[in-house]
Copies of this chain bind each other. A is one copy, B any other.
Amino acid sequence: MKKSVFYHAGCPVCLSAEHEILELMDPATIDVVHLGEEKSKIQDAENAGVKSVPALVTPTGNVLHINYGASMADVKN
C-alpha cells in the first residue's frame, strides 16, 4: 500500500499534530519527514502541493494542511 507522508518542520504545532496523527492512524502507513532536517525534500513537498506544515499527503495525492505551523517560505529559511 502506498503510504501517506507527514511533513513537518519541528515546530511545536507540528509536533503536536504529529503526535495526534500517529495516534489516530496506523503509524506503519505514514512516513514522517522533518523538512528542517531534510531540506532536500522541500522540493518533493512543494511538488506534492504542500503550502504549509504540518501537512499530510495522502496515498491518493491529496494534501491535508493541518492547523498552521509555518509556511513553506519559512521552512526554507
Contacts and interface: CB of A to CB of B under 8 A. Distances in A.
A62 B57 CA distance: 21
Nearest to A24: B25
A4 B65 CA distance: 18
Interface of A is mostly: mixed
Query: How often does this chain occur in the complex, in copies?
Result: 2
Interface residues of A, number: 18
Contacts of A58: 20, 23-24
Closest 8 CB pairs between A and B?
Answer: A65-B67, A64-B66, A20-B58, A20-B62, A24-B25, A66-B66, A25-B25, A20-B64
Interface of A: 4, 16-17, 20-21, 23-25, 29, 56, 58, 60, 62, 64-68
